[in-house]
Amino acid sequence: MTIQKVGVVGAGQMGNGIAHVFALAGYDVLMTDVSQEALDKAVKLIEGNLARQASRGKIDEDEVAAAMGRISCTLSLADLGQTDLVIEAATERESIKQAIFEDLQPHLKPDTILTSNTSSISITRLASRTDRPEKFMGFHFMNPVPVMQLVELIRGIATDEPTYKALHEVVEKLGKTAASAEDFPAFIVNRILMPMINEAVYTLYEGVGSVKSIDESLKLGANHPMGPLELADFIGLDTCLAIMNVLHDGLADTKYRPCPLLTKYVEAGWLGRKTQRGFYDYRGETPVPTR
């Protein structure tokens, strides 16, 4: 399977990062979103991030213009039907993802590979709603995409070997490392990471430690680059809660029960960095713990 033109659904934090690394690796990228404003913002952000990489000597100056020249945008999802590979990077809600694939299906080339950047939802179930479950895979990038080296490759029950091999080659061409995961809730990274974050929230909820002491303990005591509550704010508390719910529902084990305090923060709309408040308040010059 020759993959040259890649469609990216969603121009948010993950979508623009995915477009960035594919364009830099020489692929033609067609990005779509529901608003022109989101697309314009994404293109500006990608250009700024590429320029930053060039200023640090990570890439050559001429690579910035070349990569930007490979990125185009459209408001029509149907336009992505003529790409060789589609990467869905929309909101982490199954109903939204299913609707995207259903709307896209009538416009697809017969050999187009479909993938989802989902961090937790069943690949088998998403694939079963399409006309090509054998050409469907989980393609989970880590955030921030240009920096993080890992890509989880998740096969659904019907995914065929040529599709897996084609995506493995793509990951190598991107200069990243592929980790193969089975199609169980939250795969590998989030199956391990999210319960740790959830336990950190329980530690706060039960008064064992403050936001500051919990984060400092993991940074200095376990050599983590970022504390678990700081990391939760970076990821988005709504995303953390959604993944914990997928784990709890999918594995039916009480150890995955989301902490009530995590639910409370999400109900308050305090979702972390993206809303300026989460376990820290980001509205001042330096982040201040909110508990």
Residues with active-site annotation: 119, 140, 152, 190
Task: State yes or no: 97 annotated in a binding site.
Answer: yes
Task: State yes or no: 49 annotated in a binding site.
Answer: no
Find the angle CA(15)-CA(20)-CA(26) to the nearest 5 degrees: 125
Task: State yes or no: 36 annotated in a binding site.
Answer: no
Task: State yes or no: 14 annotated in a binding site.
Answer: yes
**Distance from C-alpha of 75 to C-alpha of 270, rounded to nearest angstrom:** 30
Task: State yes or no: 98 annotated in a binding site.
Answer: no
Task: State yes or no: 138 annotated in a binding site.
Answer: no
CB atoms within 10 A of CB 104: 22
Task: State yes or no: 269 annotated in a binding site.
Answer: no
Task: State yes or no: 223 annotated in a binding site.
Answer: no
Cβ-based neighbours of 123, under 8 Å, separated by 6 or more: 116, 136, 137, 138, 154, 155, 156, 159, 183
**Distance from C-alpha of 5 to C-alpha of 285, rounded to nearest angstrom:** 42
CB atoms within 10 A of CB 252: 8
Detail the residues annotated as belonging to a binding site for NAD(+). Answer: 10-15, 33, 92, 97, 119, 143, 274
Detail the residues annotated as belonging to a binding site. Answer: 10-15, 33, 92, 97, 119, 143, 274
